[in-house]
A and B are shown apart, each in its own frame.
Chain A
Amino acid sequence: MLWYKAWLETRTRFLVSLGFLVIILTFFVHHAESILPREPKASTYELMFFAHSYLAGLWMLCVILLGMGGLLRERAAGVSSFTLALPVSRARLAAVRITVGVMQSIALAIVPWAAILFVSAIAGRPFFVSQASFYVLLLVTGGMVYFALAILVSSIVDGEYTAPAVAYGAAILVGIICGSVSKLRPFLDLWRFITGDNHYNKTTHLLSGPIPWFGIFACLCVAALMFLASVRVIQRREF
């Protein structure tokens, strides 16, 4: 029942984030679509690009929050000896927490986009599901780096408020590094990757080009390495 426990622990944060993202994005899109002219369709497509940028930023804030918790937080609350007395390995405890978080992060990308598509369709401005899927794919794979960062920070840093502060700080640092690096090598900019800027066609205002499998693979590798590192850190910790 470790999955159930991980769900209970993150349920409130997840549902609040989900509600928050869905409401903000649908409100934004709905309001914008009521102002924008129906033609050319490109204006709607451009709106979607911006909507996704907002979603990406807010999504990042939410998944970093989701990544908090774990054994260190339990130790601060005085319940780590209950968890550690269970006949399960620390690796399994961490793996379950990570997996639940990953699934929640994916849901936090898919559901708001589904809501955006729905709102647009009702307004008579249907958007391509393939495009939406592309955006979701970029967000989930590139953004997983941030979730993994949060998981790693929560395995190292103690403190109910210190850990999220450090996690957000680290995320900002990543953003700054990416920003400075992007001048030399634009494809290394994580933010451009996530928002779809690398694939954004300024004429059609749609994402084009082949799916960046290498970029996806690289991001997922970085995330996986951070997940592994966090498991190792927890295995060596003393409680």
Chain B
Amino acid sequence: MTNAPAIETHGLVKSYGRVEAVRALNLCVEPNCITAFLGCNGAGKSTTIKMLLGMIAPSAGEGTVLGKRIGDPNESREARGKISYVAENKPLYGYMSVEQTIRFAGSFYRDWRDETAKELLYRYGLPLERKVRLLSKGMRTKLALLLAFARRPELLILDEPSEGLDPVGIEELLQTLVGQCAEGTTVFFSSHQIAEVERIADRVCILDKGRLMVDASLDHLRESYRRIDLVFPTTPCEPDFRMNGIESVRGAGCQLSVFASGNVEAVIERAHDLRATSIEVAPVGLRDIFLETVKEN
């Protein structure tokens, strides 16, 4: 098991005319981890993933996936042999039947596992003979996921995998991702479902307007981010609390709410110095970290 990053980019840029969809991206996805890729719509997540897979050429910068350069078509093709990718719209050929689709996809990969495919087919209840264009949205999603999970790839890239699934399906999906990671697959997925991400992700990357704002382990985020609610005898001065590690400060009358990614002790000390009457420190969930990060940008 190698310790080289599964995905690594240096200064990756993609511009369309004057619009920069991705700017100076320095991504580093560790192997054998579950990394979540968060961002609003249009933040550049799909563009980044497409650059990693060789579907789009970067405007500048470079990157490697599983050690293979993304800018070289041959190396990119080699890497794709070990990558399982499910795009956001779960693309499948409408004119193929479920069985034909499975046979087609399986024929390209050495890591394809027939028994797993059969098991998933049974578990998802997919009708073998039906044409894909006649499947319901939920079944199409399951088929697209089956094609990814009936393999043992080195890297699994999923773009909004839970879209179109009911809660039971989502739970199964998360369990499958966890199982894949346990077998040594690196999982890299983007999602709007922050609750899911919080449960299974080891690391989180937050992309906003093409820029990587946060790239940290979820444990580190849990331990460092705090919301500190302060009450003062008189209206406090917000700039007093603008220090290193403070993401945002909001005031309302005598109250101040400080959102900090670190340096919490300094905030408390300052609050003491300014004679705060109440200091409360509370943990911050990933949703709030995400919302504050994109708001501040």
Contact A8 B96, CB 8 Å, known A79-B91, A86-B108, A87-B81: yes
Q: Count the B residues whose beta carbon is within 8 Å of the partner chain — how many?
A: 28
Q: Which of these binds chain A: B1-9, B72-80, B221-229?
A: B72-80
Q: How far is the CA of A185 from the CA of B47 in the complex (A)?
A: 53
* CB–CB A84/B73 < 8 A: no
* CB–CB B92/A1 < 8 A: no
Residues in chain A near residue B182, CB distance under 8 A: none
Residues in chain A near residue B53, CB distance under 8 A: 84-85
* Secondary structure of the B contact surface, majority rule: loop
Interface residue A235 (Cβ < 8 Å from any Cβ of B): yes
* CB–CB A88/B77 < 8 A: yes
Residues in chain B near residue A77, CB distance under 8 A: 94
B75 → chain A, closest Cβ, in Å? 11
Q: Which residue in chain B gives the minimum CB-CB distance to A238?
A: B56
Interface residue B189 (Cβ < 8 Å from any Cβ of A): no
Contact A87 B50, CB 8 Å, known A8-B100, A79-B93: no
Cβ-Cβ contact count across A and B, 8 Å cutoff: 63
* CB–CB B89/A84 < 8 A: no
Q: How far is the CA of A80 from the CA of B92 in the complex (A)?
A: 9
Q: Which residue in chain A gives the minimum CB-CB distance to B100?
A: A8
Would you list which residues of chain B between 67 and 109 have a CB under 8 Å from chain A? 73-74, 77-78, 80-81, 83, 85, 87, 89, 91-96, 100, 103-104, 107-109
* CB–CB B87/A82 < 8 A: yes
B127 → chain A, closest Cβ, in Å? 18
Q: Which residue in chain B gives the minimum CB-CB distance to A235?
A: B73
* CB–CB B108/A82 < 8 A: no
Q: Which residue in chain B gives the minimum CB-CB distance to A239?
A: B55
* CB–CB B91/A78 < 8 A: yes
Q: Which residue in chain B gives the minimum CB-CB distance to A87?
A: B81
Q: A60-83 interface mask toward B, CB cutoff 8 Å, 1 = contact, 0 = none?
A: 000000000000000001111110
Residues in chain A near residue B100, CB distance under 8 A: 4, 8
Interface residue B284 (Cβ < 8 Å from any Cβ of A): no
Contact A81 B57, CB 8 Å, known A8-B96, A87-B109, A88-B77: no
A141 → chain B, closest Cβ, in Å? 31
Contact A89 B77, CB 8 Å, known A1-B104, A8-B100: yes
Residues in chain B near residue A4, CB distance under 8 A: 100, 104
B79 → chain A, closest Cβ, in Å? 8
Q: How far is the CA of A218 from the CA of B93 in the complex (A)?
A: 38
Q: How far is the CA of A224 from the CA of B87 in the complex (A)?
A: 34
Q: How far is the CA of A48 from the CA of B142 in the complex (A)?
A: 56
A191 → chain B, closest Cβ, in Å? 35
| Supplied contacts A1-B103, A78-B89, A238-B57, 4 more A-B pairs, CB within 8 Å | A77-B94, A81-B50, A81-B89, A85-B53
Q: Which 8 A-B pairs have the closest CB atoms?
A: A87-B81, A82-B91, A79-B91, A81-B87, A87-B80, A1-B107, A85-B85, A239-B55
25 contacts between A and B (CB under 8 A): A1-B107, A4-B100, A5-B104, A8-B93, A8-B95, A8-B96, A9-B95, A79-B91, A79-B92, A80-B91, A81-B87, A82-B87, A82-B92, A84-B53, A84-B54, A85-B55, A85-B80, A85-B85, A86-B80, A86-B108, A87-B78, A87-B108, A87-B109, A88-B108, A239-B50
